[in-house]
Amino acid sequence: MSDPVIVALDYPDASQALALADRVTPELCRMKVGKELFTRAGPGLVEALQERGFDVFLDLKYHDIPNTVAGAVRAAADLGVWMVNVHAGGGQRMMEAARNAVEASANRPLLIAVTVLTSMSDEDLAGMGYRETAHQRVMRLASLTQDCGLDGVVSSAQEAAELRAAHGEDFCLVTPGIRFAGDAAGDQRRVVTPRNAMDAGSTYLVMGRSITGAEDPLAALKRVHAELA
């Protein structure tokens, strides 16, 4: 697995993202590039991070018809990203098309699926017409994801222990919403600390403001590793 920490570069432009990257080290983390930053900065930002030695998780959560998603993940693989994701809600044919696309690539990234966004509560799902709780929906979509041959899922650490027991040690569990004890939860609803997440079975920890908002981001990363040790 190597380093479990993924820093979420939730910035509006490349200059701020690269300024943060220049204050930390690829020996202590990977980088996540999401929708706003990629839309503004494009593939050049991913390449600039890779030139600095960082593995990149391209977090664009593809959700479209199978052929379109297959083309998108193929393009991500050609860009050399370490990890890319889709929405499990896109269904079996979409996820299998994405899997086939990355498996045919010379630079195969990890392919994971989003189950339920960590910002969503049971009430949010009910408002959308779902009868399942967030927990039930995560479990069902994780099973579908594994059946489709993907590498793992994005989910809350609150489901990690059950997911790990159900899907084995090789199934990647990527956990956003990680905060240091005492940090503000922000817009996340299901939040845990790095140590608790790893103890629950998470494979990779996505941390944003606890690192990017720190006065000394490198010291904050070292704190994560000290906590995990």
> Which CATH number is 107's domain given?
3.20.20.70
Q: Using the structure block, give the residue that is written with the tokens 């994005």.
A: 154
Q: What is the mean pLDDT of the chain?
A: 93
Tell me whether residue 135 is annotated as binding.
no
Query: Where in the sequence numbering do the catalytic residues fall?
Result: 59, 61, 64
Tell me whether residue 179 is annotated as binding.
yes
Tell me whether residue 89 is annotated as binding.
no
Q: Per the structure, how many domains does the chain have?
A: 1
Q: How far apart are CA 98 and CA 107, in angstroms?
A: 14
Residue ranges of the chain whose pLDDT lies below 70: 1-2, 182-191
The pLDDT score that the predictor gives to residue 191 is 60
Give the structural domain span for 113.
5-228
Distances (CA, A) of 38 to 32, 45, 47, 49, 190: 10, 7, 11, 12, 26
Tell me whether residue 147 is annotated as binding.
no
- Residue pair 127/170 in contact by the 8 Å Cβ criterion: no
Tell me whether residue 222 is annotated as binding.
no
- Its pTM stands at 0.92
The pLDDT score that the predictor gives to residue 184 is 59
The pLDDT score that the predictor gives to residue 148 is 98
